[in-house]
């Protein structure tokens, strides 16, 4: 039940840019200059932060849902 419930709170469109291609696209910006390792690391960390925020929001909603269900 929890897996099914959590699935409805997750919107893949919100996390569409989390893949490697998305990281490279955001790291490059408007120009075609080579991407430094530091820029790639920053892009990776930003993507990881976004993913963790999405997971945190899912857990908040699941906690609220099950707290209501228990009462």
Q: What is the 3-state secondary structure (H, E, C) of the chain?
A: CHHHHHHHHCCHHHHCCCCHHHHHHHHHCCCCCCCCHHHHHHHHHHHHHHHHHHHHHHHHHHHHHHHHHHC
Taking only the tens place, the pLDDT of each residue in 23-50 is: 555 555 556 788 899 999 999 999 999 9
Domain range for residue 39? Answer: 2-70
> pTM for this structure?
0.52
- pLDDT for the residue 9: 54
| Whether pLDDT at 69 is above 70 | yes
Count of structural domains, the chain: 1
Model confidence at 70, pLDDT cuts 50, 70, 90, reads: confident
Residue 1 pLDDT > 50: no
């Amino acid at each position: 039940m929890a897996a099914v419930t959590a699935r409805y709170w997750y919107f893949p469109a919100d996390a569409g840019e989390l893949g490697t291609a998305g990281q490279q696209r955001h790291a490059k910006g408007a120009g075609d200059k080579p991407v430094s390792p530091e820029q790639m690391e920053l892009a990776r960390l930003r993507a990881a932060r976004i993913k963790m925020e999405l997971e945190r929001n899912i857990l908040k909603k699941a906690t609220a849902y099950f707290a209501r269900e228990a009462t």
